[in-house]
Amino acid sequence: MGDERKDQNLPARPASSLMGQLVRQRQASEVAPAQNQQTNVASPNQQTGVGGAKGAAPPPGGSGMNRQAGPATGVQGQGAAKPGGGLPAAEGVQPSRADIERIDARDETDYGHRPVEVQSPQGDLGAKFSANQQLIREREKVIIDQLRRELDTSRLTNISEDTQAQVRARIREIVNSDPAPLTMMEKGILLQNVLDEVFGFGPLGPLLRDPSVGDICVNNVTMVYVERHGRLEKTNVVFENERHLRQTIDKIIQPLGRRLDDNSPMVDARLPNGSRVNATIPPVTIDGPTITIRCFGTSIMSLGQLVEKGAMSVQMAEVLKACVKGRINAIISGGTGSGKTTLLNALSAHINPRERIITIEDAAELRLQHEHWVRMETRPMNTEGKGQITQRMLVINCLRMRPDRIILGECRGEEAFDMLQAMNTGHGGSMTTIHANSPRDCTKRLENMILMGAAEMPLKAARELIASAVQLIIQIRRLEDGTRRVTEVSEITGMEGDTIAISTMFHLEREGRDPRGFFKCRHVGSGLPPKFLEQLEQEAVPFKLEWLR
């Protein structure tokens, strides 16, 4: 009876709750000492657990007299059980049932259940358009089937402009004569969807034209997400089936000579507008083909625009501008989608127009604001396993092309050794990006990459190479509120023993959130003059120490 009543007073056990497990472990640890110290023999007919056997030893420090037990508890002398638990907390207040449920509660976001409408017009027509979305999709499928009967749509991407104009005219004729009860606006959307399917990238067309979309993530035929302003949203875009999705992938990679098959189930490519594409198929992705597109806007952001968006302060922008003009070797460090490429494009606007720049990338996505610019791109191996051109091969080759600066789109392997060698041998002002969480992590990653390309090199020699080649590390990050900000600017000042010495020039401080949920931040300067100040003076680049305050 006593055990049953104790169980009634205990909080319900969550099925798979970490907090619930911790509470149960805490309760068990309290019950055992209490029963060992206060009851030697429990009477089966008593509810209190008070020792009923003769000669029971008193608890340590006690008088040997039995204290009156609280009702329905298994512990002596503690009074009535507290709400939410049958055992007293050892320290403070024991978590209540509401506390546990709140901790275990999952944050249900709206986009998981309310997909955002694509192409939805503004104003009062939005509701009607949403109601006709299904009808538009049905008529689109009918018209596409009719075109496939009349034309070989698989070959319409490589036809002359005159033939393409004739096909477009035929598509307009079919759409305008369609008997479906659609408004002129809806027929215009239907026409665009059909043109996207025949000449473009199918359902992805509206997303690619949307300037607010930063990333497109196709998880499967019915799960398509976009990133807007740093936050992911589910869309109402769907593909007919996996075959339809594979056809869209083929349209992207075939003009580039890339392949995607069982022997090569992953591929990197780019769209004509420079957007970066990654596609996979089973068995790499179990649930079917996937597409991930990193979209690049039609306009290139400047340093001033980054300042306006709060990515950096005015003083920080002035320092970075001076470093580019003064040919300071820099690395932009950050995570995926943090804005490394955007910042690199913005910095390139301040390179001397007389200088010759050579860029090396896996998938060409840089859009430098420079005229004298040569772009180089790697190439994967062919079906016979030959013909691969790596970034390291391109770095070595570009040294014979009289570059003033070398820009490596992303440093990720053994090419780091050759890149740092180039920085050390007359190619000042070279830049690259790297995936790392802090300037210190950036140097550690560089160490590992150098040893990949020169395994026999001692670790200290690798660190000395980094300290002599790299002068500036710009750390950028996408914060939890979706905004992208430069969080730290650091200078590599040399070696201190066996360690690379790093001095922070700027860092980001958070000061809470505003009413919209965005972080209130400010960039704080160290006030210390940089070691490369002498080089800026030699290059006749103006620099004010007040920028560092």
Instruction: Give tens-digit pLDDT for 241-269.
Output: 899 999 899 888 888 778 888 888 999 88
Cβ 140 vs Cβ 237: under 8 Å: no
Rounded to whole angstroms, the Cα distance separating 395 from 531 reads 28
Pairing of strands 472-478, 330-334: parallel
Rounded to whole angstroms, the Cα distance separating 27 from 35 reads 12
CB-based burial label for 343 (10 Å; 0-12, 13-18, 19+): buried
pLDDT tens for each residue of 293-340: 988 776 788 899 999 989 999 999 999 999 999 999 999 999 988 999
Domain that holds residue 528: 303-548
Cβ 467 vs Cβ 494: under 8 Å: yes
Per-residue buried b or exposed e for 439-477, using 16+ beta carbons within 10 Å of the residue's own CB: bbebbebbbebbbebbeeeeeeebbbbbbebbbbbbbbb
pLDDT tens for each residue of 508-541: 999 888 888 889 999 999 999 999 999 999 999 9
List, as own/partner pairs, every contact residues 6-13 make where C-beta atoms lie below 8 angstroms and the sequence separation is at least 24, other chains included. Answer: 6/72, 6/73, 6/74, 6/86, 7/86, 8/72, 8/86, 9/72, 9/73, 9/81, 9/85, 9/86, 10/85, 10/86, 10/87, 11/84, 11/85, 11/96, 11/97, 11/100, 12/97
The pLDDT of residue 88 is 47
* List of residues 6+ apart from 99 with CB closer than 8 A: 19
Residues 325 and 452 both lie in one domain: yes
pTM of the model: 0.70
The pLDDT of residue 7 is 45
| CATH number for the domain harbouring residue 150 | 3.30.450.90
Write down which residue in 106, 136, 169 finishes a domain. 106
Residues 139 and 96 both lie in one domain: no
The pLDDT of residue 200 is 82
The pLDDT of residue 135 is 79
Among residues 483, 451, 543, 492, the alpha carbon closest in space to that of 331 is found at: 492
Residues 222 and 371 both lie in one domain: no
pLDDT above 80 (res 468): yes
Structural domain count, the chain: 3
Write down which residue in 80, 106, 132 finishes a domain. 106
Residues 201 and 318 both lie in one domain: no
User: What would the mean pLDDT of 141-168 be, rounded to a whole number?
Assistant: 72
Residues 147 and 177 both lie in one domain: yes
User: What would the mean pLDDT of 350-365 be, rounded to a whole number?
Assistant: 91
The pLDDT of residue 159 is 65
* List of residues 6+ apart from 198 with CB closer than 8 A: 144, 147, 153, 156, 167, 171
Query: How would residue 56 be classed by pLDDT, with cut points 50, 70 and 90?
Result: very low
Rounded to whole angstroms, the Cα distance separating 361 from 373 reads 13
Residues 381 and 290 both lie in one domain: no
| CATH number for the domain harbouring residue 509 | 3.40.50.300
Residues 85 and 154 both lie in one domain: no
pLDDT above 70 (res 24): no
Residues 82 and 198 both lie in one domain: no
Write down which residue in 81, 106, 131 finishes a domain. 106
User: What would the mean pLDDT of 111-120 be, rounded to a whole number?
Assistant: 50
Query: How would residue 104 be classed by pLDDT, with cut points 50, 70 and 90?
Result: low
pLDDT above 50 (res 402): yes
Residues 98 and 136 both lie in one domain: no
Query: How would residue 121 be classed by pLDDT, with cut points 50, 70 and 90?
Result: very low
Residues 358 and 215 both lie in one domain: no
Residues 234 and 283 both lie in one domain: yes
pLDDT above 50 (res 170): yes
Residues 374 and 509 both lie in one domain: yes
User: What would the mean pLDDT of 220-242 be, rounded to a whole number?
Assistant: 89
